[in-house]
Amino acid sequence: MSQKPPLVEMRHISKHFGGIQALTDAELELYPGEVLGVLGHNGAGKSTLIKILAGAEKANEGAIFIDGHEAHIDDPNDARGLGIETIYQELALCGNLNAPANLYMGRELSKWGFLRKRAMKEEAEKALSRLNIRIKSLDVEVEAMSGGQRQAISISRAVHFDTKILIMDEPTAALGMEESRMVMELTVELKKQGIGIIWISHDIHEVYNFTDRITILHGGTNVVTAPTKDFTQDEIVSMIISGRPIEHSNKANSD
């Protein structure tokens, strides 16, 4: 993984809100086909860092590089133009619309002023099958679907438009065990397609068993970035709480 050039490099990122310093010299790297867990307590700076990458906030200092080229991300449209999509815990789906309408919301296909509903349905079927998503009927309104199916549609919409970088903010927080497993299987499929995934979660067990590397933030600065399995789960929790790095555990490496 480290032999490939990074998809994303965020270097020396600082951000303040008035007199509050949210980030100080923070950094992040994401490689193709990996899941990077971003961890930290509330107020650690992880949400601010990710919002800067997604174009929802703008850094006061620092630089962002996408595929080795410096990127200027002033708003979410800039981020999307660079292949960056974000899925938030509160899914931005319209419950009274079906899957194709949600997939193309804001990007509707039309001809002579009329929606091309058949074309959107066909494209939705392709997008869902690309990720092995099975939904009995695409004509059903999204509000009648399970939480896992709604999350699957949200993921499918995010990656359908030439996405290279996917930010997932607490993607399983509101889901049951089976639905969470479904979302993780989808994410594994995205990894196979070379998409880089930033996975934000408070579930240490989930992060430990699912991510390739972790970046821990504390007080707006980096604590550690390393392969997830370089540490035990208890060590990860300790670093989140204390804000101090731990030497790589011999036990973790010998397991």
What's the predicted TM-score (pTM) here?
A: 0.82
Q: Report pLDDT for 185.
A: 81
Q: What pLDDT, on the 0 to 100 scale, is given for residue 115?
A: 79
Cβ atoms 154, 92 nearer than 8 A: yes
95 forms bridges with which residues in the sheet? none
Q: What is the DSSP letter of 230?
A: G
Nearest-angstrom CA–CA distance, 8 and 215: 14
- Tens of pLDDT along the chain (255 residues)? 446 789 999 999 999 998 899 999 999 999 999 999 999 998 899 989 999 999 999 999 999 999 999 999 999 989 989 999 888 755 566 777 788 777 777 677 777 877 778 888 887 787 777 767 777 778 888 788 877 777 777 777 777 777 899 998 887 776 777 777 777 888 888 888 899 999 998 889 889 988 999 999 999 999 999 999 999 999 999 999 999 998 764 444 444
Closest CA to 245 of 220, 201, 215: 215
Tokens 């906030």 sit on residue: 57
Q: Which amino acid is at 159?
A: V
Strand partners, 226: 214
The four Cα atoms 136, 137, 142, 145 give a dihedral, to 10 degrees, of: -20
Find how far residue 29's CA is from the centre of its chain: 13
Residue 178 pLDDT: 74
User: 219 Cβ partners below 8 Å, 6+ apart?
Assistant: 24, 43, 44, 45, 243
- Domains in the chain (CATH in brackets) are 8-254 (3.40.50.300)
Q: Which tokens in the block code for residue 253? A: 């490496």
